[in-house]
């Protein structure tokens, strides 16, 4: 026996009531569960942990992570493992680093600098999905990682940044790239339908790509076309599209934001219930906070981003074009801002790429503008151009009643959408999972502890088609988290976003402790989780 966890309150990830048991781990798997009242495990073992009634759950699965470079840059990955996360799903929002060629890699690195940094510290020694997953395995990391094929990156490879329909040959190329990525181990495909160039795809194009994903038993994970004006229509579009393709659907950071959607969470859930009742295969993820997080450049109208970062910067440098962009954003409502006129007092700068702009961090665009005696647009334009589109933002447009309603739904899972870059990132990057357990279970009672753990473990494992993870069960991989339900809490705040959580003393990946007595070990047992396994 490599490990015995004694007297744990097992919350097994199925939603079933907790029970007391000893848990025996050997060679990375759970080999025995001894419920209270049965003979205790005996014999030689490497180590014993006395749980003393602490909760033992499967490791948490982050269904929406932006750690694509972080797992390579910082394999210890304390931000996530300290929360009890043992598996992340990468390749989100339609833009990531595989598949690529030399030209698209350079463009993607610049386009999503705000998400992952510019990558100057990374050796990009891969070009394919399989190559990226192999790199994770060669280097080692604290957490397991699954990958979604980014549809925007695929479109960029096939046809650049153009806003036009794909030709038959270009669509064939995209379908081939998706099939190759799925065969190499991706679990599905993501889209960022408010980000260029993925947003230029028609429903017909997306449907054809989803047919390929479905053939490999994967799922489609769209950041859909609007979370503001037209949000329900955008959700309806994704449900219809995937049903036409026969593809499973997982809705990314599924919420209803901006003033137009206050209190409308139940309408989204009614839409999903109707589709589920008619046989649709749908899940979703959310983070337990109201503000969102993205890049400032993402707020621009899509036509301003056509052609890639250099073309965008050229448009911003032209006074007439910049004035047109301003009008669309402030008066009409840009599609990048979900069809809602931008409110600069809701846009807080959370990170910049250039130190000379650091005094903007922690202030809204409106606050920075007032300090400079200028219009908010002038401040935003300066940030966009001088930071070369690399600034990240917090967008304070969510509604607590929607957050709570959606997290109660039976197909809900947890996803941090955590961006680790910037001087002042969203606290969800360091706090999502203890925030669920501490605030929404213990303090507010929105979910029971057993329900919440199922949302964070068994349910996402089922979506990922993982046959031996997500449940505390004999024969399953020993990805486990030991926490105190009475003290577990997110200590990360908007003021101190990199503070590690409380009440999670042990985290195990494949039976190896990555958090031990509340401290990070040097173990790197994580690996790439491929769809074919």
Q: Collect all residues with Cβ–Cβ distance below 8 Å to 489 and sequence separation of at least 6.
A: 434, 435, 437, 438, 439, 501, 502, 503
Listing DSSP states for 97-111 in one string gives: SSS--HHHHHHHHHH
Average pLDDT over residues 356-368: 95
Strands 19-26 and 3-10, sheet pairing: antiparallel
| Three-state DSSP class for residue 377 | helix
Angle at 284 (CA atoms; ends 448, 470), nearest 5 degrees: 60
pTM for this one?
0.95
pLDDT digits (tens, 9 = 90+) for 452-476: 999 999 999 999 999 999 999 999 9
Q: Collect all residues with Cβ–Cβ distance below 8 Å to 300 and sequence separation of at least 6.
A: 312, 325, 329, 334, 336, 384
Average pLDDT over residues 223-251: 97
Q: Identify the pLDDT of residue 46.
A: 80
Q: Residue 287 is inside which H or E element, if any?
A: none
Q: Identify the pLDDT of residue 37.
A: 77
Average pLDDT over residues 89-106: 97
| Three-state DSSP class for residue 339 | coil
Of the candidates 7, 48, 55, the residue with the CA atom closest to the CA atom of residue 488: 55
For residue 181 the two structure tokens come to 């990525």
State the pLDDT confidence band at 422, using cuts at 50, 70 and 90.
confident
Which residues are bridge partners to 220 per DSSP?
Answer: 189, 249
Q: Over pLDDT 90: what percentage of the chain?
A: 95
Residue 520 has pLDDT above 70, yes or no: yes
pLDDT digits (tens, 9 = 90+) for 132-184: 999 999 999 999 999 999 999 999 999 999 999 999 999 999 999 999 999 99
State the pLDDT confidence band at 38, using cuts at 50, 70 and 90.
confident
Residue 300 has pLDDT above 60, yes or no: yes
Mean pLDDT of the chain: 96
pLDDT digits (tens, 9 = 90+) for 374-419: 999 999 999 999 999 999 999 999 999 999 999 999 999 999 999 9
Residue 45 has pLDDT above 80, yes or no: no
For residue 413 the two structure tokens come to 């899972």
CB 372 within 8 A of CB 366: no
Q: Collect all residues with Cβ–Cβ distance below 8 Å to 120 and sequence separation of at least 6.
A: none
Q: Collect all residues with Cβ–Cβ distance below 8 Å to 495 and sequence separation of at least 6.
A: none
For residue 303 the two structure tokens come to 């036509």
- Cα torsion at 190, 196, 197, 200 (round to 10°)? 90
Strands 480-483 and 347-351, sheet pairing: unpaired
For residue 528 the two structure tokens come to 């790439």
Q: Residue 139 is inside which H or E element, if any?
A: helix 129-139
Listing DSSP states for 404-447 in one string gives: HHHHTSTTEEE---B---SSS--THHHHHHHHIIIIIIIIT-SS
Residue 533 has pLDDT above 70, yes or no: no
CB 412 within 8 A of CB 424: no
Residue 150: CA count within 13 A, CB half-sphere: 31
pLDDT digits (tens, 9 = 90+) for 478-499: 999 999 999 999 999 999 999 9
Residue 532 has pLDDT above 80, yes or no: no
Tokens 């401290």 belong to: 519
Say how far apart CA 254 and CA 402 lie, in whole Å.
10
Q: Identify the pLDDT of residue 137.
A: 97
Q: Identify the pLDDT of residue 1.
A: 61
């Amino acid at each position: 026996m490599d490990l015995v966890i004694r007297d744990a309150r097992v919350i097994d990830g199925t939603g079933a009531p907790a029970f007391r048991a000893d848990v025996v781990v050997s060679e990375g798997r759970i080999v025995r569960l001894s419920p209270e009242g049965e003979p205790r495990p005996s014999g030689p073992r490497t180590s014993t942990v006395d749980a003393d009634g602490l909760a033992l759950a499967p490791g948490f699965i982050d269904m929406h992570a932006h750690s694509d470079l972080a797992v390579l840059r910082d394999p210890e990955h304390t931000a996530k493992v300290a929360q009890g996360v043992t598996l992340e799903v990468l390749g989100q929002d339609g833009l990531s680093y595989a598949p690529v060629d030399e030209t698209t890699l350079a463009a993607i690195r610049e386009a999503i600098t705000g998400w992952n940094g510019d990558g100057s510290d990374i050796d990009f020694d891969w070009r394919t999905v399989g190559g990226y997953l192999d790199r994770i395995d060669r280097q080692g990391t604290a957490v397991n990682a699954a990958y979604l094929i980014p549809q925007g990156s695929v479109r960029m490879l096939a046809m650049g940044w153009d806003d036009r329909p794909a030709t038959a040959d270009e669509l064939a190329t995209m379908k081939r790239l998706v099939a190759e990525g799925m065969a190499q181990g991706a679990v599905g495909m993501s889209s960022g339908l408010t980000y260029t160039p993925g947003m230029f795809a028609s429903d017909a194009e997306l449907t054809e790509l989803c047919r390929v994903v479905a053939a490999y038993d994967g799922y489609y994970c769209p950041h859909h076309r609007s979370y503001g004006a037209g949000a329900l229509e955008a959700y309806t579009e994704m449900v219809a599209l995937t049903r036409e393709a026969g593809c499973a659907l997982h809705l990314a950071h599924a919420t209803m934001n901006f003033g137009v959607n206050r209190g409308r969470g139940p309408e989204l859930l009614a839409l999903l219930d109707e589709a589920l009742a008619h046989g649709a295969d749908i899940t979703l993820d959310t983070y337990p906070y109201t503000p969102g997080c993205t890049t400032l450049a993402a707020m621009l109208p899509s036509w301003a981003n056509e052609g890639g970062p250099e073309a965008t910067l050229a448009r911003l440098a032209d006074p007439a074009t910049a004035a047109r962009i301003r009008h669309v954003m402030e008066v009409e409502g840009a599609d990048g801002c979900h069809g809602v006129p931008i409110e600069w007092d809701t846009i807080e700068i959370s990170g910049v790429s250039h130190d000379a702009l650091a005094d903007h961090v922690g202030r809204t665009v409106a606050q920075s503008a007032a300090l400079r005696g200028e219009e908010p647009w002038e401040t935003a334009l300066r940030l966009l151009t001088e930071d070369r589109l690399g600034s990240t933002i917090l967008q304070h447009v969510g509604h607590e009643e929607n957050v709570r309603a959606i997290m109660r739904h039976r197909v809900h899972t947890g996803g941090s959408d955590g961006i680790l870059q910037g001087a002042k990132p969203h606290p969800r990057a360091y706090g999502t999972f203890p925030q669920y357990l501490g605030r929404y279970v213990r303090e507010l009672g929105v979910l029971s502890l057993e329900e919440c753990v199922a949302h964070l473990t068994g349910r996402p494992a089922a979506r990922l088609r993982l046959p031996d993870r997500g449940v505390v069960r004999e024969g399953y991989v020993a990805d486990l988290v030991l926490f105190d339900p009475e003290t577990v809490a997110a200590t990360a705040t908007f003021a101190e976003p990199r503070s590690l959580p409380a009440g999670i003393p042990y985290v195990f990946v494949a039976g190896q402790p990555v958090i031990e007595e509340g401290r990070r070990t040097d173990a790197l047992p994580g690996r790439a989780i491929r769809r074919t396994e």
